[in-house]
Amino acid sequence: MPHDQPYLQAEKVIEVVQRSGAKDLDLRFLQLTELPDSLGQLSQLESLSLSQNQLKELPKSIERLTNLKSLSVPGNQLKNLPEWVSNLSHS
């Protein structure tokens, strides 16, 4: 299934972060309706901002972000957050 432009843009940003080893990822205001599975490969991530998108759920792959300390998700259409999210700081 072909992906839309926001998804492809997010994949490019994820690739840059993966190569650089950055600990923060900002995917705000991209109008994302889904997140690339490649996000789960960023095990070094400590901060992830997904604010102001159109996400309805978080992918299972996000659970692999074991160093994640901060997750920002306001402005989405999320109905239920996974239980592990409550252990993070929220912004």
1 by Cβ neighbours in 10 Å (0-12 / 13-18 / 19+) ranks as exposed
The pTM of the whole model exceeds 0.85: yes
CATH number of the structural domain spanning residue 24:
3.80.10.10
**Which residues form the domain of 10?**
5-90
In total, how many domains does the chain have? Answer: 1
Distance CA(23)–CA(57), nearest Å, equals 23
The model's pLDDT over 44-58, given as tens digits with 9 standing for 90+, comes to 999 999 999 999 999
pLDDT recorded at residue 89: 57
The model's pLDDT over 48-88, given as tens digits with 9 standing for 90+, comes to 999 999 999 998 888 889 899 999 999 999 988 877 777 77
Sign for the pseudo-dihedral over CA of 84, 15, 12, 25: positive
Of 41, 44, 37, 38, which is closest to residue 59 (Cα–Cα)? 37
Q: Which pLDDT band holds residue 27 (cuts at 50, 70, 90)?
A: very high
